[in-house]
Amino acid sequence: MSQPATLGFRILPMPARISEDIIQRFQTVVTPHISDNMQRLCGVIGLKPYHHRKKLVGRAITVKVRPGDNLMIHKAIDIAEPGDVIVVDGGGEITQALVGELMQMHAQVRGVAGFVIDGAVRDVAAFYAADFPCYARGNTHRGPFKEGPGEINVPVAIGGLVIEAGDLIVGDEDGLVAVPADRLDALLAAAAAQAQRERQRKEAILKGEDKRGWIDAYLKEKGVIA
């Protein structure tokens, strides 16, 4: 009989794939439209990009580590499939970097789409030079340990949001969101409808035809005399 996995040293099965068609369609969806249509509850807070403009879209491979230790991040890179996003719960600790240039190179060669690190990175210039999508809490020159513990494909908490292995991660200049796999089609439709409404609003604004009466109506309801 096989031994049960040890809590703190576990690698759970890989999540279901997300179709390439879905991935490509989300490439043109901005994060505000995703956030608005998830009641503004599914965004990651407090991480900043360490790359230029390349968009991040891919399936989440989640990693939970002891702050300052990257053993299981190395393993996650080794088992990730092309297009995956390595999402790391490092407890928000930024005194030691969890990834750097060499790990970025390994990940890029394997086809990993990017990193989301609730912790620190280093070799910042290399991330910018490669334009390899990376969002992190901060940066430091101090390196990590490689001893564990750590777990892969378990639920993690990143900037106030619980992310499950298999969620779709979307990152752009406005930030990061995570979409559960069973909501992808619905979110695409809702985001497309919002984009169309906003195009119509922009046209009306440029023509001076955007109706602004709602402001005074709301203020009147609150008892404000204009």
User: What is residue 43's predicted lDDT score, i.e. its pLDDT?
Assistant: 86
- Is residue 100 a known part of a binding site? yes
- Is residue 1 a known part of a binding site? no
- Is residue 101 a known part of a binding site? yes
Percent over 90 (pLDDT), the chain: 90
- Is residue 122 a known part of a binding site? yes
pLDDT digits (tens, 9 = 90+) for 170-221: 999 999 999 999 999 999 999 999 999 999 999 999 999 998 999 999 999 9
Query: For the chain, which domains are there?
Result: 10-181 (3.50.30.40), 192-222 (no CATH)
Q: In whole angstroms, what is the distance from residue 115 CA to residue 99 CA?
A: 9
- Is residue 10 a known part of a binding site? no
pLDDT digits (tens, 9 = 90+) for 71-124: 999 999 999 999 999 999 999 999 999 999 999 999 999 999 999 999 999 999
- Is residue 102 a known part of a binding site? yes
Average pLDDT, the chain: 94
